[in-house]
Copies of this chain bind each other. A is one copy, B any other.
Amino acid sequence: MEIIREASELLIKIKENRPLIHHITNYVTINDCANVVLAVGGSPIMANDPAEVSEVVAMAKALVLNIGTPNNNNFQSMLLAGKKAKEMSIPIVFDPVGAGATSFRKEMCSRLLEDVRPDVIKGNISEIMYLANVDGCYYGVDSLQDIDNAAGIVQQLAKNLNCIVAATGRRDFVSDGSTSYVINNGHDMLSKVTGTGCMTSSLIGAFCSVTTDYLKGAVAGIMTMGISGQLANACLLSDEGIGMFKVRLFDNIYNLNKETFIREGAVYAG
């Protein structure tokens, strides 16, 4: 598909421009998110205090917000940083980790959707379902449910919020409300390592920082994680597991090039 070739060109642009990607994120996967931005060719910065986030956003080319370990301090930082990012017209990627799981996360989601208005929302199916107000049984932060109507929910939510919405799972659904894609890259091992979802949001931030077409940026970020996960799994030996898989995942993201992107990409009209 044309979008695969276009997405592969964004990869080159990241490596040329080395965009600074500002994260306000959780304490669990913060190191992995910084390394994944470096692996794809960007430059990460992870400041999370209200005292300085606006100034940090002012230097950045994209902002990634992740509520994996929420507290009032990083909530305030997200509101301040989001406001500044809007003023600067840099893309804001929102990862609603555990959306709906607690009152506090519900409140954060509402406020961030309303006040910050992210350009891209990337969650797993159950998080996106919560945002879409669809009934669903919340289970953990790694839950993946194959919902029959996932594509429709994603498209409708994108339309309602006037932004890009991506729901990841066995298949990934991405939509801007009118154009939609299904991505068939990825491997089940990605769900056995913490942070692959958070890292995908970081990758989306990196890709969106070098294009104004955030739909394409979201597709490219998800493809990068999916393709690298497949390749990482393919080179695992039989006595290896999630330790070596994670090492190979970073290796493959680091070595990803245009040709691999085009050869392995599995993106379809949604």
Chain A residues within CB distance 8 Å of chain B: 18, 20, 26-32, 34-35, 38-39, 43-49, 51-52, 55-56, 59, 68-73, 98, 101-105, 138-142, 192-195, 235, 239-244, 246-255
Which residue of B51, B70, B194 is within 8 Å of A104 (Cβ)? B51
| Given A242-B38, A243-B254, residue A103 in contact with residue B45 (CB < 8 A) | no
Whether A104 pairs with B52 at a CB distance below 8 angstroms is: yes
From B28, B241, B252, A46 is in contact (CB under 8 Å) with: B28
Residues from chain B with a CB closer than 8 A to the CB of A73 are 71
Known: A46-B28, A71-B51, A72-B51. Is A101-B59 also a contact (CB below 8 A)? yes
> Nearest B residue to A194 by beta-carbon distance?
B34
Q: How near does chain B come to A126, taking the closest CB pair, in angstroms?
A: 12
**How far is the CB of A65 from the nearest CB of chain B, in Å?**
16
| Seed contacts A38-B192, A47-B102; 14 additional CB < 8 Å A-B pairs | A20-B139, A39-B243, A43-B142, A44-B194, A45-B140, A45-B141, A47-B70, A49-B69, A51-B72, A59-B101, A59-B140, A239-B255, A243-B246, A246-B247
Q: Is the CB of B103 within 8 A of A55?
A: yes
A243-B250 contact, Cβ under 8 Å, with A46-B27, A52-B105, A103-B52: yes
**B239 x A20 contact (CB < 8 A):** no
- For residue A246, which residues in chain B have a CB less than 8 angstroms away from its CB? 35, 243, 247, 250
| Residue numbers in B under 8 Å from A44 (CB-CB) | 194
Name the residue on B nearest A77 (C-beta): B71
Cα distance, A11 to B241, chains bound together (Å) = 16
* A100, chain B: closest CB distance, angstroms: 11
Choose among A35, A44, A52, A105 the residue with the greatest number of B CB atoms under 10 Å from its CB: A52
Q: Which residue of B lies closest to A241 (CB)?
A: B254
The answer to whether A140 and B43 touch across the interface, beta carbons within 8 angstroms, is: yes
Interface pairs A-B: 8 shortest CB-CB: A241-B254, A243-B250, A52-B102, A243-B247, A241-B251, A34-B194, A55-B102, A49-B71
Q: CB distance B69 to A39 under 8 Å? A: no
> A194–B31 contact, CB under 8 A?
yes
| Contacting pair B56 A254 (CB below 8 A) | no
Most chain-B Cβ atoms within 10 A of its Cβ — which of A72, A98, A138, A247?
A: A247
